[in-house]
Amino acid sequence: MPQAHSQIFLSLSVPHFHSSLFHILSPYANLFQHTACSSPSFYGLRAYTPFSCGGFTCYLKYAASVEANSEHPIAKGIVSSSKEIFKVEEFRSIPGKGAEGKVDGKEVKVVSPGYLRENNITVDDERIDELSSQGKTVVFVIIDGELKGAIALADIIRPESKKAISMLKKMGIHCMMLTGDNKQVAKWVAEEIGLDEYFAEVLPHEKADKIKEVQSRGLIVAMTGDGVNDAPALAQADIGIAIGAGTDVAVETADIILVRSNPMDAVAIIGLARATYKKMIQNLAWATGYNAFAIPLAAGVLYNHGILLSPAIGAILMSLSTVIVAINAKFLGTK
């Protein structure tokens, strides 16, 4: 076991590795939070659709200024598309639906389609339907109570994500995704990287319930997340996997912490756990067989046949057993 720890700390920090190890060996599902750094994508701005006359650049700056106070990947995608950020007052996050604040004395909101539905705001625009059908994430900009436009962002699929999902599925793991995005976006991402299943339009407080739903199928659930809203789901999951670059709350709640923002590390931890368990069984079998033979021999069971070990030889044989176990464990670090 110490050898397993030394190898995994090259890319992982594992505060509860011992208990998580045996969960990983059971039939289970790996649930990725869509916006986690180890999830399959990042966001980049793809289109801005105005609903009224006004400066596109100005509206985008207002939206980016509000989103600059948020850690959400969608927010980062908007911020990276604006060359100028204004000071924001009275910033407030709207859990699962967006953010708002005052910019230049104006009330600015950057919100999801769910927020519009909740507040009975109707958008009848073919351009929005077209963007959604293309798998783009659409958020809306409201300034002083007036809907000014929509910002479309697209997932930029990381090449290693497809490989990670493929390898996890070969290990017999059911790969799923949790996302607050609409069904069109979720479906596009799922098909692009080969996910088995997805849950779309999931609000932050619903994530833990989705984990329970999957657990009710008799599966051991691993949850990968990075945000403060992921903490309850990470706690509910049998194996909570947090991104080291994520929020402190997520990191504190998780069983396993991935230091790098690389989905391949999720594959590495499973491979390491299985290899470690295999070594444990090998060492247990060896130690049991070796001692079943050596202890009676050292006790003099063959004395009547003229075979008697001296205390020194007995000590050497005992030490040899420990040395062989240690050497076998050491080979774990070479794989």
Q: Is residue 21 in a domain?
A: no
Q: Do 32 and 162 share a domain, yes or no?
A: yes
Q: Do 280 and 251 share a domain, yes or no?
A: no
CA torsion sign for 223, 228, 229, 233 is positive
Q: Dihedrals φ, ψ of 274, to 5°?
A: -70, -40
Q: Do 310 and 285 share a domain, yes or no?
A: yes
- Which ranges of 71-181 does DSSP label H, i.e. alpha helix? 73-79, 113-118, 126-133, 159-170
Q: Do 162 and 115 share a domain, yes or no?
A: no
The answer to whether the pTM exceeds 0.95 is no
Q: Is residue 64 in a domain?
A: yes
Q: Do 295 and 222 share a domain, yes or no?
A: no
The pLDDT score that the predictor gives to residue 6 is: 34
Q: Is residue 90 in a domain?
A: yes
Q: Do 198 and 105 share a domain, yes or no?
A: no
Q: Do 145 and 206 share a domain, yes or no?
A: no
Q: Do 146 and 116 share a domain, yes or no?
A: yes
The pLDDT score that the predictor gives to residue 250 is: 58
User: Based on the structure, what is the number of domains in the chain?
Assistant: 3
Q: Do 131 and 214 share a domain, yes or no?
A: no
Among the three residues 250, 265, 280, which one is the final residue of a domain in this structure?
A: 265
Q: Is residue 325 in a domain?
A: yes
What's the first-to-final CA gap in the chain, in angstroms?
15
The pLDDT score that the predictor gives to residue 37 is: 36
The pLDDT score that the predictor gives to residue 150 is: 86
Q: Residue 225's beta-bridge partner residues?
A: 242
The pLDDT score that the predictor gives to residue 40 is: 40
Cα distances (Å, whole numbers) of residue 259 to 50, 226, 231, 263, 293? 40, 11, 17, 11, 45
Among the three residues 265, 283, 298, which one is the final residue of a domain in this structure?
A: 265
Q: Do 136 and 195 share a domain, yes or no?
A: no
| Residue-by-residue pLDDT tens, the chain, 335 positions | 444 433 333 334 444 555 555 566 665 677 776 554 334 444 555 555 556 555 567 788 888 899 898 877 788 888 887 788 889 999 998 887 899 999 988 999 999 888 998 888 888 778 887 877 777 788 899 999 888 888 888 767 777 888 888 998 888 888 898 887 778 878 888 888 889 999 988 888 898 999 999 999 888 888 887 766 778 888 898 888 877 655 566 567 777 887 777 778 888 888 888 888 888 889 899 888 888 888 888 777 877 887 777 888 878 888 888 888 888 888 876 55
Find the domain containing 280 and state its range.
Answer: 271-334
The pLDDT score that the predictor gives to residue 5 is: 37
Among the three residues 156, 187, 211, which one is the final residue of a domain in this structure?
A: 156
The pLDDT score that the predictor gives to residue 109 is: 93
